Amino acid sequence: MKHLLFAAVLAVPGLPAVAEDITIGFATAKSGWLEAYDTPAATAARIRIDEINANGGLLGQQIKWIEADTKTDRAQSAKAGLQLIDGGADMMVVSCDYDFGAPAALAAESEGMNSFFLCAEDVKAGIQGVGPNSFSGSVLAAVQGATMAEWSHARREARSAYVLLDTIIEYNKGICRGFDWMFPRLDGAEIVGRDTFKNDDASIASQITRIKSLPEQPDVIMLCSVIPGAASAVRQLRAAGIDSLILNGSAVDGSYWLDATPDLSGFVVPVQGSIYGDDPRPEVEAFNKAYEAATGARPASSYAYPGYILIDLWAKAVERAGSVDGAAVTAELEKMRDEPTAFGPRTFTPELHHQNYAQMQIVEITAAKPAVTDSWTISEPVPLDVLLKR
């Protein structure tokens, strides 16, 4: 019996019998605070997997998935990565957040395997922070900030802007970096002031005092923050009677927090697709319906979408490469230029495994009702040195 087991263990690497299926490993948070962000995107990824399987699979094989809980813990993330590698994963999907996804992604990288961050929007989540076979399914934070700058300048005659940065995570700095790069380049536009706060500050009264002591209220306020700090900042800004258009990154998408500021208006969010049923592209609404059928509820924010996109792109690259080998798939992914997806075209290059420009839907909240008001693609990709500037 012992010998038999031993033989079986020896035989596994050489035997493609196990590889009848292609296995995707999910090293994501199934518990802890990150779960609320990982689960929707992972669900979306599985919807795409099911679609591919229903259409005959990938390279003639069915895709199956295995998972390991990272418990919103960096050490557990590394462990989950190794566990999935042992479980025979051919590709690894890791947590939304760079800090929590990177340990698992690094484990995948050391095996020469592809890894995809579910929705990380920091440039580190890819070549720069993990290695040559790592990608992100989402759109860089800086693109969101730059989109807000160019759109508000073109469509809302924004000429003066105030930048309010929540320094708690790198994502927020990324949004502001994109805005700071784009806005001053625009005709007649000027950043008239800036300030910082921290997400868990009990009050931003002093920051509000500073805005109110400006000689003139700014046309727009670029708020680089995430929930809950962002919701709390907006509540306090509006309560203080500051009526400027408030611009944000995608992270505040979703109507679930709108109760924090009753009857909110003049609040704009760039998103990859609309969860509100009014996206101009029918594929997006078709996905929303599929998501509802799978989970019983529509997506709570647009952060489900990158999960779907990443499986879609990876599967296409696998078909083209004819294998799931990390380096071969990476080479195919890097050839993608404006590759169509349900949520707009996507590009990967040998320098950047992320989107440094993308078509974004502009969602505006008016009287507490979010609706797509426009669609915008920045006129020029955010340059790599802007992205990497610390």
Partner 1 sequence: MTSLAQLFFDAAALGGIYAMAALGIALIFGVMNLVNFAHGEYIAFCVFALIVPSTDAAAVMFLGKAPALLLIPLILTIGALVAMASEYVVFRHMRKASPVAMMISSFALGFIIQNALLAVYGGRPKAISLWPELNTPIDIAGASVPLLQLIVILTTLAVVTGLAALLRKTRIGLEMRAAAENFTMARLLGVRANVVITGAFALSGALAAAVALIMVTQTGVADVRMGGHIMLVAFIATVIGGLGSLPGAVAAGFLIGAASVLLQAFLPLDARPFRDAFLYTLVIVSLLVRPQGLFVPNSAKPRV
Binding site for partner 1 (CB under 8 A): 31-37, 72, 165, 167, 194-198, 200-203, 205-207, 209-210, 212-213, 227-228, 231-232, 235-236, 239-241, 254-262, 297, 300-301
The number of angstroms, rounded, from the C-alpha of 300 to the middle of its chain's C-alpha atoms is 14
Check: CB of residue 119 under 8 Å from CB of residue 143: no
Q: How far is the CB of 236 from partner 1 (least distance, A)?
A: 7
Q: How far is the CB of 207 from partner 1 (least distance, A)?
A: 7
φ, ψ dihedrals at 264, nearest 5°: -65, 135
Report how far residue 353's alpha carbon sits from residue 306's, in angstroms, rounded to the nearest whole number.
14
Q: How far is the CB of 300 from partner 1 (least distance, A)?
A: 4
Which residue's CB is nearer to partner 1, number 209 or number 366? 209
For residue 320, give the amino acid letter: R
Report how far residue 104's alpha carbon sits from residue 35's, in angstroms, rounded to the nearest whole number.
16
Which residue's CB is nearer to partner 1, number 110 or number 206? 206
Q: How far is the CB of 293 from partner 1 (least distance, A)?
A: 18
CA neighbor of 344 nearest in space, from 368, 377, 370, 319: 377
- Under the phi-then-psi rule, with left for phi > 0, alpha for psi from -120 to 50, and beta for the rest, what region is 178? alpha
Label residue 154 exposed, middle or buried (CB < 10 Å: 0-12, 13-18, 19+): middle
Which residue's CB is nearer to partner 1, number 37 or number 348? 37
Which residue's CB is nearer to partner 1, number 32 or number 132? 32
Q: How far is the CB of 323 from partner 1 (least distance, A)?
A: 37
Q: How far is the CB of 159 from partner 1 (least distance, A)?
A: 21
**What secondary structure letter does DSSP report for 126?**
I
Q: How far is the CB of 371 from partner 1 (least distance, A)?
A: 17
Q: How far is the CB of 302 from partner 1 (least distance, A)?
A: 13
CA neighbor of 346 nearest in space, from 385, 383, 373, 308: 308
Which residue's CB is nearer to partner 1, number 1 or number 297? 297
Token pair, residue 342, equals: 């349900």
Which residue's CB is nearer to partner 1, number 115 or number 236? 236
Q: How far is the CB of 40 from partner 1 (least distance, A)?
A: 9
Which residue's CB is nearer to partner 1, number 6 or number 256? 256
CB neighbours of 115 closer than 8 A, spacing ≥ 6? 91, 92, 93, 94, 104, 105, 108, 109, 130, 133, 134, 135
Check: CB of residue 162 under 8 Å from CB of residue 192: yes
Calculate the alpha carbon distances from 301 to 22, 38, 41, 174 in Å. Answer: 29, 12, 10, 20
Token pair, residue 363, equals: 């969602």
For residue 316, give the amino acid letter: K
Which residue's CB is nearer to partner 1, number 61 or number 255? 255
Which residue's CB is nearer to partner 1, number 176 or number 360? 176
